[in-house]
Amino acid sequence: MTLKFSRDHEWIDTAHQQAATVGITEHAQDALGDVVFVDLPEVGTTLAQGAVAGVIESVKAAADVYMPVSGEIIEVNEALRADPALANSDPMGAGWLFKVRMAKPEECDTLMDAPTYTAFSQNT
């Protein structure tokens, strides 16, 4: 995995740039609590970096999911529709949200690496 992290607590695995995978971080799922619904973007939708791509609803709150990089949604995790708790039980694995074909891979340079994100998330 080649992971980067956004200030909005999304992660992106850019190991396969043609299909970068996006999800929420452990920190985000801890803050949300038990996830009860996930609204995923439509496949084929093109969104800019920072745009709202979906919504995660929990027993405590609803939170927008933001695009960590610009690109086209090429796949969504259909398993989350049936079992939104995957976002809690395995947010960095089976609970991934969607895959994106990055339009501007250089936008990854604006994201944080793991040590920087860890320090950032301890202060938020």
Architecture of the CATH domain 3-121:
Beta Barrel (2.40)
Task: Give the three-class secondary structure for 54.
Answer: strand
Neighbours of 58 (CB within 10 A): 20
Residue with tokens 């920190």: 27
More confident residue, 1 or 20: 20
- Tokens read off for 88: 């809690």
d(CA 40, CA 56): 9
pLDDT in tens, 48-102: 999 999 999 999 889 999 999 999 999 999 999 899 999 999 999 999 999 999 9
